[in-house]
Structures are given as C-alpha cells and as structure tokens.
Structure 1
Amino acid sequence: MPILSLANHLCRLRMDERGTVSVMMGFLLVPLVGFLAVGFEVSHWYLITRGMQNAADASALAAAINNGSNYDVEARAVAAQYGFVNDTNNVTVGVSNTAACPNGSNTCYSVTIAGYTPLLMSQVVGFQGDNNLNGSRQKRLSALAAAKQSSTPDSLCMLALASSGVPQGIRTNGSPTANMNGCDSMSNTAAQCNGSNLGLGISFAVGSNSGCGAQQLHSPALADPYAYLASNIPALSSSGCKNYPQETKKGNSYTVASSNQLAGSLSLLSGNNFLCGDQLLTGDVTINTPPGQSAVLVIENGQFDLNGHALRTSTGSAVTLVFSGTNGGGYSHAPTDNTNGPGGVLDLTAPTSGAWSGVAIYQDPTLTTGVDVSAAGNSPTWNISGLIYMPHASVTLKGAIDKSTSGKSCVVLVADNVQLSGNGGIAKTDIGQCSQAGLTMPTAMIPGGAKLVL
C-alpha cells in the first residue's frame, strides 16, 4: 500500500503544471533585465547624442557665418549655450575651418562635440563601455557637423567688367538726377557716385564704393557671363562682304554710299543676315522677321547711324543686332546718331529663344576699338528689351534706357565701364520679365548666410 501511494504521488506530481511559469521566469529574469537595461540605456544615449548633434549643428553654422579669426570662439560659445562646455566634465568641443566640403575643397567649418556618460544597467549583460573615468565605467558619445558659407544670388541690370583696368567701372559726371530705378549693379573695380545714390538698389564693387546705392563690397570680380555667345557669330568669310563703305563728313552731316542707306521696311530671314560697313538711316526703318521667328542682323565693320530716324522691330518681330568684323582699321562697331538735329530712336525687342535668346545688341568681344557709345538714352533714345552687351566699350548714359515698345520690362547693360550723366539710367527692370524675355541675368552674390553640409 505505501508503495502504491508513493507511485500515485509521483504520478500526480508529474502531471501537476502549477509553478511552471515561475521556474521559466527564474531562468529568463536575468536576460530580460539585461535587455530592458540595454534598451533603456541606448535610449538615454540617443537623447544625449541628439542634444550633442543639435549643439554641433548650431555651432558649425555660427562658425561659418562668423567667418573671422575668432570663428572657433563663436562656435564654442554656441555649444556652451546647449550645455556642452569645452574641457569641462570630460566634454571636448573641436572646431576647424579646414574641413572637407562636398565639392572637394577644404574650406568648410566643422564642429565635433564629444563626452562621456556613466554606464547604468548595461553592465548586467557584460558591456564595459569605452573608458574608466574616476573608477566609473563610461560610454563615449559624439556628434559631428559641418557647414559652409552660403551666398544669395542677386540679379544685376548693370555690370561693368572693367577689363580695361579703368579705376571706376561705374561713375557719375556730377549729375544727381540720374536714376537707376532700384536696379542692382556691379563694378569689377570701384564705383563712384557723387551727389546722389542714383536710385540704385544694391551696388556691388570689388574696389571702393562711394555713394552708390546700398554699398556692398564683392570679391572676387565677376567673369564675363556672355563672352561664350561669341561662338554664335558667323565667320567673316561667310558674310559675302567684299568692301565696307564708311561714312564721310558732308557739310554738317554725314553720308555713305547709297547701297548703305536704309529707309522703310527691312525684312530679315530667320537666322543670320548681313550688312557690310556703315549703315545710315535716311528714314525710319522697321525690322520684320518671319512670324514666330527671330533673326540675327550682323553688321560687319560698320556702325549703325540712326541719323535722327527710328530703327525698330515691328510687333511680333525680334532681332539680335551683332557688331562684328576687324579690330582696328578705323572701323566703328556700335549704334550711334551723327545728326545735328533731334536724335533718333533705337527700339529693339530681343528674341526669347534660340542661340541669341534675350540678346538685343552684341558686340563681338574680340573688338576693343571703335566700340564706345557716348550718348545712349538721349540723342538717340534707346528703348530696348533684352541684353545690351558691349564688353570693351565705355558707355555714357545721358538719358534713361527704357523697354522696347512691344517687349518686356527687361534692360540689362554689360560694358567695360559706364558713366551716368543728366537723367541717365535704366528703367525699372523686372527679374520675372527678364525670364519671360529669355534672358538669364548676370548675378552677384550676397554673402552672410551658411548652410549645413554634414
């Protein structure tokens, strides 16, 4: 009987499952606590690292904006505001202004913030951290940020390239009535405006800048943004020009061979059209181009003398006036007006597409003589929509250059140097309308900002 009772007890014990979970929990308690400890600790590390990253980002931006000899002081001061003080509580704040940039240069600003935090419960699973500080196992945490200076592009309606070395690319002639209507300008040398700021918006200059708009020094000088268009100029051998009649003085006026006298309608073909030598208007001339198409009118070794008359594009027509030919030899390569009476009118609309998109007047950049313009805007009047490109010319504005009759409010002048006299200037130029006119305006850069690159 006792043997049977013992067997029954053992059988019931084998079938009894009460307390099984407790046994399993006993085995699992250590790894479970370990996983909870690691999860808690990793979350803690993440929060600290996130704070470090925010501090590093702000510090790198501050260093880039500072861009001075004390950029590192600026960066560490910002980091301290986030609670990360260099060489305090095992925290280091490293700052550099020679960090690698995405473009391959080493001009970026970097900030590295590093520090230690004591291990709490992760040691339960055997993690020993990265260092032993003052008898305590510690985990090293760090964050890295890099920033570079960023500049905002600003569109210009006047650019003085000053490739001739003229000391003042933009200057006045003692006439404070000149008005640029908020136009932004750039001189690759100095800018000098006496008696008035000329109504300029931002006036950039590489050298000194006195009295012109909101003055902003700019470095480096701007490269010629339109010289590349010279590749569109047809070779001289393709023009068919055999000779180049030149104007001669006749009494108080000028004359030229009858073959070079223009009046009435001038119908151009799409593409390149050529005129040889000086051209003299003996009456108003209206340029017509095929519907929906533009034309290029190349004047080879000659000037365009309005002679008191109007040269204009008809509504719906568009033209680029290109002055090309031989440098030197006494040739002139510019629009002019040699009449002694009331000046003529140059009223041109540039094409809005194609190789010459947005370009109204283009002087071949290989021409350095016979390119100056002494009275633009007043005798003759200039109403032009598009780019006026005269890279080696001295241009004197004695009146306001306005938009063409049928074109957009977009007037952009690029010359070697510009002098403003009387009420000279440029009518209001709308950046959006220049875009509609097919012209990408030249730009200068406004410094002062910064952006993160890492």
Structure 2
Amino acid sequence: MPYPAFLTRLRSDRSGSILTFTGIGFVTLIGAAGLAVDTAQWYLWKRQLQQAVDAGARAGALSMLQSEGAEPGARKEIGRNADNTLNVLVERISSPPYSGAFTGDTGAVEVIATTSQKLPFSSVFLDVAPTIRARAVATRTDEGEYCVIALAPVGMGVRAVGTADVNLGCGVGANSGIQAAIDLTGTSWINAPNFHAVGGIDASSRNIPEDAVLQPYGLPIQDPLAGRELEAPSEPEGCTYNKYSNNPKDVQTLTPGRYCNGLTLKGVTTLSPGTYIIDGGLLDVASSATVIGDGVTFVLTGSGTGNAASVKITGGATMDLTAPSAAQSPTWKNVLFFQDQIGSSSESNFAGGSELDLTGVIYMPNGDVRFTGNSGQSAECLLLIANHVTFAGTSSLNNNCTVDYANLDLSAPVVKVVE
C-alpha cells in the first residue's frame, strides 16, 4: 500500500526541519515580547496609581489642617491625577492610618487604591487580571528655621532689589499668596538655606544659593509670637517726654518711659534697661547718633489704626542694642522692636550707611520694614517678623543666630508623603 511507504519516507525526510523549529521559536519569542509589553504596562499603571494616591493623601492631610474631612479632597485628587484609562478602586481613606509608623498621628491620612484590567497577551495565560495596589500616607511636618517672616497674605511679602546683599543663617518665609510672594530681582542676593511661600517664589540662580530649598505654594507660617499676645503698655499713662530730641554733641543717658510724638536721637545716647514707648511720630536716629543699650525694648504705638510710630535710622548712625532676657523682662523677653497691632501707614526704614548691631526680634506684624543703602547689620541673632520686608540698595545683613530661641516655633509647615 502507498500510505505506509509515504509515511516512512516522511519520517526519514530531514528537509524543512529548521523551518519547523523556527516557527516554534518565533511563537515563543512573540509570547515573551507580548508578556514584556504587558509587564511594562503594569509598571506604568503602578506608577500612575502611586502618583494618584500620593496626591490624594496630601490633599486629605491639607483638608484636615483646614478642619475639613479628609475623604472629599482625597477622592478629588485621586480622580484628577489618575489616568483616564485606569479603573481605580479606592480601597481605603483613613485618618489616622490603620498601619505603618503613623497610626498614632491624627493628622496623617492613609490612602489605598487598586486597579485591575486584562491585557491581550497576559490574558492568554491568566484567568484573572493581576491587581495593582498602591498606598500612601501624608502628614504635616515642620521644616526649616525662618528668621525673616513676612506675615501679609497679599502683596510681595519679601523683596530684594538692586544690589542688596543679605546673608542669613536661617530661612526666608512669606505668607502672601501672589505669584511673586518672594521676589528677588536684579543682582540682589539672599544667602539662606530655605525659602517658603504661600504663593510663588520669583528668583534665579544668581539671587539664591544653588542648594537652597524652595517651597512655593505651601502652607502659611504661623506668627511665632502670636501666642504671647503682646500689647502696648498702658503705663505710664501720661507722657514722660514730648517730642524729645537731643543734639549731635550731647552725651546722655535716657530712662524708660512714654515718649510722645516721637524720639529723635542725634548724639551719643545710652539707654538704661527697660521699655521705651514711642507714642506716635518717629523713632528717628540721625546720621550723627550713637545709641547703646542692653535689655531694652522699643514699643511703637499711637492713637489709632495705622498711626503707630515707626522707625527711621539714617546716615552713618551706630546702634548697639540687645533685647531683654527673661530675667530682665518676662513680658518683653527677646523683643527689641515691637510695633502695636494697630500698624503704621509708614515703613520702618533701616538705611544709609548705618552700623547696626542688633540682637533680638523686630516684631511689626502689621507694619512694613525696609533695609536700604549701606545698612550693615551684624547680630548675634536678629529675627525679623513684619507685614512686608524689603531689602534694597547695597544693604548687607549678616545674621549669626546663637541665642537660644527654643521657645519660638520658627519652622514652616509642610504636608508631605511620609510612607
């Protein structure tokens, strides 16, 4: 019969064997390539899902800080950040987290989400599509130490213009929400480790160090002295002096009291320890003045809103001032200048070739401060807290904080993913 003979010949025939093995190998290669494509897609989905839960956890933690529930904000950000092709299932949004290192943190938010979709090649081998899972925990952390803080919610909070040269041992913060909350222009330079703003930060590499940490669009920095509820003293009620002014050739010692309608210093003046209330007008330090004081506080106040006294330091004035210690004055500890909450329509100006050795806090929560000209300041520790702060001209501010201000929270709040 012909069929057995044909089969015998076919069995012994070696022609075409390579093509057979090539076909088998090609199928294997296509399968491996397809599985690799699916694996890459799973990896991409994992990254996209992780990005979405990270954003959701941050949004939830921010909502908690604003006394709102975590879930609405978290779900909104998960949806906004997840790829439209992802079938995202939110498994859990919880505060505090159910697991991890932050289970005891009531401000922390945990987000867990999953996605599962079939892909062409892997579905040949897998009956059920794999589940991709992502988890994130976000909470508030306090970072940095800030010694220049602009509290105003609007306007340019901190500005440096011209050839300003500012060297700080700590950070610069602004609570303004505008695009240029911190604005550094021209060849101005601020040497600080941290810059934090509620709005944007407008600066280039020629204005700040390369390794400076920038945190735009962050949370407001809390007023570190707000809890002390400082107020202008009511005593002495009457004026100790009215429009007091000395002469360039005078050598005098002044005592604490209420200086109505300004205090003008032109000569050599030693300030006895205590509180100097400037009730209206200016604390005006002329170019010829030398002012020395240890344990002193200037309180700038006035008769109504916007009428608090302000500071004007000009020319070649020399000032060597130190704020009180806790032993000298528990109320005014560390405060060198305080402007009443009523604020002032006039800037306080430290300018014009002044030699300033200031140790303490300049605290003007509703007033503006400007350093201009050749204002050279060397301080053990100067903290500047004002409504707006401007550095201009060729001002040079050097700060070396060694005084213990551990009782003040000078950090900035940051919501970040911690797990």
Q: What's the TM-score bracket when you normalise by the shorter of the two chains?
A: 0.5 to 0.7
Q: Does 1:344 align with 2:317?
A: yes
Q: CA deviation at 1:392?
A: 2.3
Q: CA deviation at 1:94?
A: 8.3
Alignment-derived partner of residue 418 in structure 2: 450
Deviations 1:398-454 (A, max 9, x none): 2455345xxxx2111111112221232431332xx131x676252213554527xxx
Alignment-derived partner of residue 341 in structure 2: 365
Q: Does 1:318 align with 2:292?
A: no
RMSD: 3.8
Evaluate the alpha carbon distance shift between residue 242 and residue 157 of structure 1 in structure 2; reply closer, same or farther with a 3 A threshold. Answer: closer
Q: Give the distance between the partners of 2:241 and 2:57, measured in 1 at CA.
A: 64
Q: CA deviation at 1:381?
A: 3.4
Q: CA deviation at 1:148?
A: 4.2
Residue in structure 1 matching 2:382, options 411, 417, 436: 411
Contact 1:320 1:359 in 2 (8 A): yes
Q: Give the distance between the partners of 1:440 and 1:70, measured in 2 at CA.
A: 29
Q: CA deviation at 1:97?
A: 3.2
User: Counterpart of 2:358 in 1: which secondary structure?
Assistant: strand
Q: Does 1:327 align with 2:300?
A: no
Contact 2:169 2:399 in 1 (8 A): yes
User: What amino acid is the match of 2:93?
Assistant: N
Contact 1:402 1:411 in 2 (8 A): no
Alignment-derived partner of residue 172 in structure 1: 160
Count the aligned residue pairs: 299
Contact 1:230 1:365 in 2 (8 A): no
User: What amino acid is the match of 2:95?
Assistant: A
Residue in structure 2 matching 1:191, options 168, 182, 187: 182
Q: Give the distance between the partners of 2:237 and 2:185, measured in 1 at CA.
A: 49
Q: Does 1:387 align with 2:377?
A: no
User: Counterpart of 1:368 in 2: which secondary structure?
Assistant: coil
Q: CA deviation at 1:159?
A: 0.6
Q: CA deviation at 1:351?
A: 1.5
User: What amino acid is the match of 2:290?
Assistant: A
Contact 2:364 2:385 in 1 (8 A): yes
Pairing of 1:21-170 with structure 2 (within 5 A):
67-69=54-56, 95-100=91-96, 102=104, 104=106, 107-109=108-110, 147-163=137-153, 165-166=154-155, 168-170=156-158
Deviations 1:181-229 (A, max 9, x none): 4531001121111245522321111111111633212432223332444
Deviations 1:276-305 (A, max 9, x none): 22112241101233xxxxx22222223211
Deviations 1:340-369 (A, max 9, x none): xx4312321011212211111110112233
Alignment-derived partner of residue 273 in structure 1: 257
User: Counterpart of 1:335 in 2: which secondary structure?
Assistant: strand
Evaluate the alpha carbon distance shift between residue 224 and residue 70 of structure 1 in structure 2; reply closer, same or farther with a 3 A threshold. Answer: closer
Q: Give the distance between the partners of 2:302 and 2:248, measured in 1 at CA.
A: 20
Evaluate the alpha carbon distance shift between residue 66 and residue 200 of structure 1 in structure 2; reply closer, same or farther with a 3 A threshold. Answer: farther
Contact 2:275 2:298 in 1 (8 A): yes
Residue in structure 2 matching 1:402, options 377, 382, 388: 377
Residue in structure 2 matching 1:378, options 340, 348, 352: 352
Residue in structure 1 matching 2:408, options 440, 447, 450: 440
User: Counterpart of 1:179 in 2: which secondary structure?
Assistant: strand
Alignment-derived partner of residue 87 in structure 1: none
Q: CA deviation at 1:242?
A: 5.2
Q: Give the distance between the partners of 1:199 and 1:380, measured in 2 at CA.
A: 21
Alignment-derived partner of residue 16 in structure 2: none
Deviations 1:43-98 (A, max 9, x none): xxxxxxxxxxxxxxxxxxx9799632599xxxxxxxxxxxxxxxxxxxxx985333
Contact 2:53 2:136 in 1 (8 A): no
Evaluate the alpha carbon distance shift between residue 65 and residue 447 of structure 1 in structure 2; reply closer, same or farther with a 3 A threshold. Answer: farther
Evaluate the alpha carbon distance shift between residue 428 and residue 192 of structure 1 in structure 2; reply closer, same or farther with a 3 A threshold. Answer: same
Q: CA deviation at 1:324?
A: 1.6
Contact 1:357 1:438 in 2 (8 A): no
User: Counterpart of 2:264 in 1: which secondary structure?
Assistant: strand
Work out which of the two has the higher radius of gyration on C-alpha atoms and give 1 or 2: 1
Residue in structure 1 matching 2:399, options 425, 428, 432: 428
Between the aligned residues of both structures, percent identity stands at 19
Question: Where does structure 2 lack aligned partners over 5 or more consecutive residues?
Answer: 1-48, 59-88, 98-103, 115-134
Q: Does 1:305 align with 2:284?
A: yes
Evaluate the alpha carbon distance shift between residue 426 and residue 64 of structure 1 in structure 2; reply closer, same or farther with a 3 A threshold. Answer: farther
Contact 1:176 1:198 in 2 (8 A): no
Per the normalisation by structure 1, the TM-score is: 0.56
User: What amino acid is the match of 2:389?
Assistant: V
User: Counterpart of 1:378 in 2: which secondary structure?
Assistant: coil
Contact 2:248 2:268 in 1 (8 A): no
Deviations 1:240-293 (A, max 9, x none): 3259845xxxxxxxxx677x999534354xxx733222112241101233xxxx
User: Counterpart of 1:240 in 2: which secondary structure?
Assistant: coil
User: Counterpart of 2:403 in 1: which secondary structure?
Assistant: helix
User: Counterpart of 2:157 in 1: which secondary structure?
Assistant: strand
Per the normalisation by structure 2, the TM-score is: 0.60
Q: Give the distance between the partners of 2:105 and 2:194, measured in 1 at CA.
A: 29
